[in-house]
Chains A and B, each alone.
Chain A
Amino acid sequence: MSPDFDELVGTEATGAERAKLREAHDLLLRAGPPPELTPKLKAGPNPGVARMQHRRRAVKRRSLVLLAAALSVAVVFFAGYGVASHRGGSSSAGGTATTIQLKGTASAPDAQATLDVWQERDGNWPMTLSVKGLPKLPEHTYYEVYLVRDGRPWGSCGSFVVSNPSQALQLHLNAPYKLQKGDSWVVTRQTAGAEPGKTVLSPVAA
């Protein structure tokens, strides 16, 4: 059953404003509901795309790589040394391991964020936090990103401040821990030398 426009918007909006709302209402009805994503699509772009990126870069560097390889072979040949060891550079495609959508709590109702956790690199899990809507905090107060495990805060993954609340912010963070299934993250408001910190961003329920 279609929702009733008058019930949705009441009688406060009139004239041009009401017409604008009506247009959005009609478009929503025409569009129908957006679908629920499959887990694979929710996880992020296909790693194959990342591999393509690596291939693209590889092609750009191909001539340099070939030249370097040729020089290496020549040096080894003429010096009469064998290669004692060779490290296979197995850099991963570096896709996201998980993406967490965060929404503002009552402490920061307008805030929202996306936390992309990238594949592990030597014990580190690089993360990118894209956040907007957090207010500027008083001096000596800052925001902190916490890993949450078993429903409890477990370890810090970095801290930041907001100097311009009207602008979105993108930050590079890191989780230097061995991540486990079920791990999640929150953003808290911390005051230097004081406790406790209040959660301002928490994961959107699946």
Chain B
Amino acid sequence: MRKNSGDMEFALEAPRLRAVPSPDPAPTLDTSDAELLARVGEGDREAFELLYRRYVRPLFGLALRRLGDRGHAEDAVQEAFAAIWRSASTYRPERGAAGGWLYTVARNAIVDRLRRNGLATDAELPELVSSEPGPPERAEDSYVSVRVHRALEELQPREREVIELAYWSGLSQSEVADYLGLPLGTVKTRTRSGLARLASLLEGEDL
């Protein structure tokens, strides 16, 4: 049988520690954003870590788009998560989706950062990337980006990999297949299943 290069075979004489499931029902990868936020509001650190993993890339994208500088964007994202930690207990699911609430908190943190840098007034939050559409369209674009990037985090890594290569590397499907060392059919299948999963997530997600 052919061995996959990712497989490693070995045996060790090492003391084994039995893993013990958490005594409290801990949040899992399947826990919804709304539930995570509720737990964060009660001071649940693990829930906060999970929420961070889900949203750090989308919110960093948002901050980068608005601030145009990785250092400032990094600071803004950290301030956004500090604000999320502080105010999670004020989130009310009946008043809107968790993703929308997180987006608003992050956006406010970014505006604060812009104001401190003397780049924004109360009236407007500038977009540094898109220049053609008006403010409402630009705001909607930012929201779409956060939603899509958040949904990407939910894909299987192998699906996300082919989607990101297909859309943003400039490679054709054949080139993606060559790059990953996969049959073209596998790349096409993963791209299609990734797109389908994304469509479902964006259709049913609570952002």
Contacts and interface: CB of A to CB of B under 8 A. Distances in A.
A198 B4 CA distance: 10
A35 B64 contact: yes
Contacts of A10: 188, 192
Interface string A159-176: 110000001111111101
Contacts of A3: 166-167, 172
Interface size class of B (residues with CB under 8 A): 35 or more
8 contacts: A21-B195, A24-B196, A34-B58, A110-B156, A132-B28, A159-B18, A171-B21, A172-B21
Interface of B: 4, 6-12, 14-22, 26-30, 43, 45-46, 48-50, 52-53, 56-58, 60-61, 64, 70, 74, 77-78, 81-82, 85-86, 141, 144-145, 147-149, 152, 156-158, 163-164, 166-168, 170, 172-173, 188, 191-192, 195-196, 198-200, 202-203
Given A38-B60, A48-B78, 16 more contacts: A7-B172, A13-B192, A21-B196, A24-B199, A33-B168, A35-B60, A40-B78, A50-B45, A103-B158, A105-B6, A145-B19, A156-B16, A168-B30, A170-B27, A171-B19, A197-B11
Interface of A: 1, 3, 7-10, 12-13, 17, 20-21, 23-25, 27-35, 37-38, 40-41, 44-46, 48-50, 52-53, 56-57, 96, 99, 101, 103, 105-107, 109-110, 112, 114, 116, 128-130, 132-133, 144-146, 152-160, 167-174, 176, 186, 188, 195-199, 202, 204
